[in-house]
Structure 1
Amino acid sequence: MSGILTAIILATVSAKVPSGFSNGDVLLSDCRGSRQFVAGYVSGWMDKWNRDDYLARRNFVDAVPTSKAMMNSAYFANSVGANFCIPVGTTAAAISDMLCTFLEENPGVRDAAGDDLMMTLVEGKYRCPLP
């Protein structure tokens, strides 16, 4: 009986997942509904960027003995082009509120991918200071 219940729950959950990635329209509808979904999206996006940053740094450190590997890491870093520094203690809820406000105030960008919208928002708000 528990296998059938699990299958029903999974079918119900997967039926609510839109095909493809989130875009501004989907995120805005979540903003107007349950902000928990938006905060979850923001948390996942931030976790991915933190993990990518860690892997890129580890890759660079591991590549130090090899000049070709160092060049590949440098090309990777330039192609990513991320330049943001989020202060310690900033919550996903705070960033999701900013995202919802951004989507309300900018209807022309709502067809963009969620990843692009997050990158625009975070880089605009949390640009790293120049050294």
Structure 2
Amino acid sequence: MDVTLAAGGAWTDPACPVARTVDLIGDRWSLLIIRDAMDGSTTFTEFHQQLGIARNILTDRLRKLVEHGILDKGAADDGRRQTYRLTEAGQDLFTAVVALRQWGERHAFAPDEPHSVLVDDQGRELPELHPLGQDGTPLSVAASHVRKTA
């Protein structure tokens, strides 16, 4: 996977995984494209119709997601269109997207405000994600810290 930034770009904080991830996929449109790819969108037209994004911005974000190894680009069965599929790295963002979704469910909606719900194959809502320590105990901000590199 190519994780370099475009020419002239620089990492926000080269030693921080959060900053590097945000540099790669942290803009609104990239995350929504990834979300829609997880929901089955594969073509430019599908992404465009789902998101209502300007064509030039969609073209740019799809190109960047392919360059950074988040999406693979290939030819559709009819050979006339390009398709986009999540790579292993793109699929690996599922937990992060679920965490963002669950945060939004808790903090971005009024208590009785309707919103979409992510369910498993049996139609059950996904349980709330919680980070666990090596021994299985729940972790919190207060029970963890960042070890900086030298």
Pairwise TM-score range, normalised by the shorter structure: under 0.3
Q: Provide the TM-score with structure 1 as the length reference.
A: 0.24
Larger Rg: 1
More strand by share: 2
